[in-house]
Amino acid sequence: MAWTVAAKLSDLSEDSAFAVELGKTSVALYLVEGEVYATSNICTHEFALLSDGFVEDGFVECPLHQARFDIISGRALCAPANEPIATYPAKVENGVVLVDIQ
């Protein structure tokens, strides 16, 4: 595990994704029912930032062609995306969000 400081917990909200670059990895952070999650911020269909999309009830919708992904599992829930997005371990310590992108 290589935990990296990614954001402050206060940066996150339940209705949007927070974008952060960790090294060369574009990561989206989410707050779902009080728990922090991290995924790749890049859609697996074409190039779009999921942090520009719509977040609700544990899924994120791509802003370009409206594919939906499960934030917790990364699973693609509908076309046009077939491939899941990467998910990363995330945790909160003292109000700081830590992500392991290894």
- Residues near ligand FES (CB under 6 A) are 43, 45-46, 48, 62, 64-65, 67, 80-81
**Min CB(24)–ligand FES separation in Å:** 20
Q: From CA 100, how far away is CA 53, in angstroms rounded?
A: 23
| Pairing relationship of beta strands 59-61 and 96-99 according to DSSP bridges | unpaired
**Which C-beta is closer to ligand FES: that of 36 or that of 85?**
85
SS3 per residue for 16-69: ECEEEEECCEEEEEEEECCEEEEEECECCCCCCEHHHCEEECCEEECCCCCCEE
Using DSSP's 3-state secondary structure scheme, residue 82 falls into: coil
**Which C-beta is closer to ligand FES: that of 52 or that of 100?**
52
**Min CB(53)–ligand FES separation in Å:** 8
**Min CB(56)–ligand FES separation in Å:** 16
**Min CB(16)–ligand FES separation in Å:** 17
**Which C-beta is closer to ligand FES: that of 74 or that of 97?**
74
